Chain A
Amino acid sequence: MNVPPEELKVKIIQTLNLEEVTPEHIANDAPLFGAGGLELDSIDALELVVMLENSYGVVITDMEKGRPAFKSVNTLTAFVNANRPA
């Protein structure tokens, strides 16, 4: 069964302890990092790496390769669903 984007939004908020942010605040295609979205930084990305491994068994060992997955909730959802162990 595929992971829905809404589930990832909740995980992101919980993992990063984002005050004053609700899942409705996060547009599926808005940038997670940099201006115009959640404005997360590289350390947040690393927290998300740990979350992806614990929650979905998706392991990222090289941030260079993992970076494209963290563009938006959409890209992250696609990445998780493509890389989940069977």
Chain B
Amino acid sequence: MSARYPVITGLGLMTANGACVNAVWEAMRRGETGLKPLSLFQSPRYGQIPAGEIQQDLIGLGAPAQGSRSDQLGWLAAREAATAAQLDFSGGSERAGVVLGCSVGGSYNSEHFLTRLIKQGQMRPRPTRFHECASVVELIAREFGLHGPGFAVTTACSSSALAIAAAAELIMAGEADVMLAGGADSLSRMTWGGFHALLLVDAAGCRPFDLARAGTSLGEGAGVLVLESEDHARRRGASILARLTGWGASCDAHHTTAPHPEGAGAVAAMKSALRRAGLAPAAISYINAHGTGTRDNDLAEAKALQSVFENRVPPFSSTKQFFGHTLGASGAIEAVICVEALRRGEIPPNAGFHTPDPAIGLQPVTLFQAAELHHVMSNSFGFGGNNGVLIFSRAETRPLTRRPESALIAITGMGVIGPGELTSRDIQPPLPPGNVLVHSCGPLAESALLTSNQRRRLGRLVQMAVLAARKSHPPEPAQRTGVAIGTGLGCLEDAGAFLENLIGKDEREPMPSRFPNSVHNAAAAQTAIDQGARAMNSAPTMSEISFESALWLGVRQLAVDEADCMLVGAMDELNKYPLAIGRRWGLWNSQTRPGEGGMVASLRRANSEGPALAHLGTVRLGRIRQPFDAMHEAEWIAGAVDLDSLAVVVSGAGGWPALDDQYAAVVGALAARAGRPLEHHTYKQRCGEFHSASAFGFSVAVALALQRQCGVLLYTLSPRGARAVCTLRP
């Protein structure tokens, strides 16, 4: 049976210009801007500059108190979308999941912790509980009862476009019937200070594509779409709002912040989305442009539009002046706007545009207007050159189908960044008194192999990823190579140094070079630049299963033939903050020792040339049910993998003590189902506890499959409920 492209059955929005889809639409119809002077936090230098800040009380709107500001925004948009789609997951569903784009995460809340630490010397880490970008995914999955696949995508400003594409792939692959897909990001001192440090903010409010444009306006918000398989939607009688017919991703592999001057990556992503939708460029009747209002982005995007559409560029507008550039949420908010445009037959204008720029040579739509729309495109381009393009089509469009893909995937190389043992006294700068035994990778001896520009610019985590990718024997040329490198906590060193400096010096003397390397996708983007890898570039995060999320994305790109090689892995770095916060919370002890490192593997379709270290079987992501039941868990695993082929289980036991009994019980239950004993191996005694540790575990599993010539299961649990399995065979 062939797979049908997903349909859209619900929408939700939270923006500075309206707290639901209708309110945003009516505000755009009236031509109102949502930009106002910032009030969310003190900004000594830039406080009067307009921002897309949501001034309603989020808890008053119904958001749960237990979450970061980004989490609350995402939850509110998800509630609107799920309600509109009349979804009911009471009792929980294994066939429903959530993938959201998120770049800021809980930074706004964590900054309260840092401010108190820096200004008052107080160590009160409570606000950091929701720091991770995955936190919003966990909140929504828990509150809505979604036990299917879930992770966050953190590719800066293209995060949620790539999240929606990933959700579509999960449905096409038959791994979910329904996905909540979108993105959420709040304003934060970090991004506010960072964009100002890069001189990318227009003090007058953004003016996309205008001759006088001088930067973007930052905003916050969330957008969520309910993506559903058509069969599922029809069975439950849901009304279909539109179809997602095209999605494409690419990487400029050009520069940390600047787009490729000719928009080469943007062109590739648009063409890829058109190809997937089976459409000629002339079929597109409206484009919601990325249009940030920065000089470079708008010029590069205009060139890319002219390259794809030649002299027939369809009506286009950037809607960012209405609610600001919401970074990780922007792709989702603009996707919702595209679906509304299709449904209503109306085009929202490019507010802020007055004077054409001869260098751009294109004029956006300036008046709210009716139009007959059939297929519309939404562009999102991020720092690191990570590009994502989506195409939506009217509900009555003939459904597209695709033959089910199945490709055997070979692991052709691995670069492991492994640990030695150090104590926290060896970590610079030194920590307050008290000692924790840690598994650190130590000084990166191989960083001598990097260029001097890479050494002076790239943080530890990014250097580790670039070096690991080089060791994985990636192919040349790398035109059809993609990258999916996950991380749990991201570039803590760069993010921490940037924020300490920003807060400590009240926004004087910012550190512009630290900011772009603080994003979660810095490792994936710099790996792409190092390799010249121009296919999809993604950076998922999901606590302990961040690696498996990257693995799923990489395998899928190969299966659908969007890449010939995927560099897949995950990486985390040790830093004083998790060390100190973990110690305050009593997490570190003689069993649970913090660690760092990770792995990057080269994956190819098995029929391609080159010897394989091992082959991949299944990769499956999900969320455990509470209360934990080992028999139920074993049943889920047995449904995903071929138990008869397995002799060894490699698990994440030996890290968090609370999970050890669960791992042991599940391995026991699996052996009982298989009717024979299964060997149980662990790896955290060697590498320590860190979010990307299962990437290290994967290298152990590959080694065991090779050495024993048997099937190996890698099984990973997170203390917050995420779970993943993948299987390997010789």
A: residues with CB less than 8 A from B are 16-20, 39, 41-44, 46-47, 49-50, 53-54, 60-64
Contacts and interface: CB of A to CB of B under 8 A. Distances in A.
Nearest to A44: B513
Interface string B599-638: 0000000000000000000000000000000000000000
Contact of B512 (A17, A19, A46, A64): A46
B513 A47 contact: yes
B460 to A, nearest CB: 15
Could you say which of B199, B295, B453 has the most chain A C-beta atoms within 10 Å of its C-beta?
B199
A24 to B, nearest CB: 18
A28 to B, nearest CB: 22
Contact of B509 (A39, A42, A50): A50
B456 A19 contact: yes
Contacts of B453: 39
B512 A43 contact: yes
Given A19-B452, A42-B257, A61 B199 contact: yes
A18 B516 contact: no
26 contacts: A16-B456, A18-B456, A19-B455, A20-B452, A41-B255, A42-B255, A42-B257, A43-B256, A43-B257, A43-B457, A43-B512, A43-B513, A43-B516, A46-B199, A46-B512, A47-B512, A47-B513, A50-B197, A50-B512, A54-B508, A54-B509, A61-B199, A61-B203, A62-B199, A62-B214, A64-B214
Nearest to A15: B513
B554 interface: no
A50 B510 contact: yes
A57 to B, nearest CB: 12
Interface in B242-269: 255-258
Contacts of B512: 43, 46-47, 49-50
B511 interface: yes
B198 interface: yes
Contact of B199 (A16, A20, A39, A63): A63
Nearest to B457: A43
A20 B506 CA distance: 33
B205 to A, nearest CB: 15
Contacts of B455: 19
B214 A46 contact: no
Nearest to B257: A43
Contacts of A41: 255, 258
A42 B258 contact: yes
Interface in B272-300: 295
Closest 6 CB pairs of A and B: A46-B512, A17-B456, A43-B513, A19-B452, A63-B199, A47-B513
Given A44-B513, A63-B199, 5 more contacts: A39-B453, A43-B513, A46-B198, A50-B197, A64-B295
Contacts of B456: 16-19
Contacts of B295: 64
Contacts of B516: 43
Interface in B386-407: none
B51 to A, nearest CB: 17
B452 A46 contact: no
A63 B198 CA distance: 9
Contacts of A63: 199
Contacts of A18: 452, 456
Contacts, number: 48
Contacts of A49: 199, 512
Contacts of B452: 18-20
B174 to A, nearest CB: 44
Nearest to B203: A61
Nearest to B215: A62
A61 B190 CA distance: 19
Contacts of B511: 47, 50
Given A16-B456, A18-B456, A62-B214, A46 B197 contact: yes
Nearest to B255: A41
Interface string B194-214: 000111000100000000001
Contacts of B257: 42-43
Nearest to A42: B258
Interface in B102-140: none
Contacts of A44: 513
Nearest to A16: B456
B513 A46 contact: yes
A84 to B, nearest CB: 18
Contacts of A17: 456
Which of A17, A46, A47, A53 has its CB near the most chain B CB atoms (within 10 A)?
A46
Nearest to A41: B255
A85 to B, nearest CB: 16
Contacts of B258: 41-42
A18 B512 CA distance: 16
Contacts of B510: 50
Nearest to B510: A50
Nearest to B296: A42
Contacts of B214: 62, 64
Nearest to A66: B199
B78 to A, nearest CB: 36
Contacts of B198: 43, 46
A62 B198 CA distance: 10
Contacts of B203: 61
Contacts of A19: 452, 455-456
A20 B516 CA distance: 25
Interface in B287-316: 295
Contacts of A42: 255, 257-258
A50 B199 CA distance: 11
A62 B202 CA distance: 9
A39 B580 CA distance: 40
A67 to B, nearest CB: 11
A85 B281 CA distance: 54
Interface string B502-522: 000000111111001000000
A63 B214 CA distance: 9
Nearest to B256: A43
A46 B258 CA distance: 13
Nearest to A17: B456
Nearest to A63: B199
A60 B455 CA distance: 28
A63 B295 CA distance: 10
A53 B510 CA distance: 11
B383 to A, nearest CB: 11
Contacts of B509: 50, 53-54
A5 B224 CA distance: 55
Nearest to A18: B456
A26 to B, nearest CB: 15
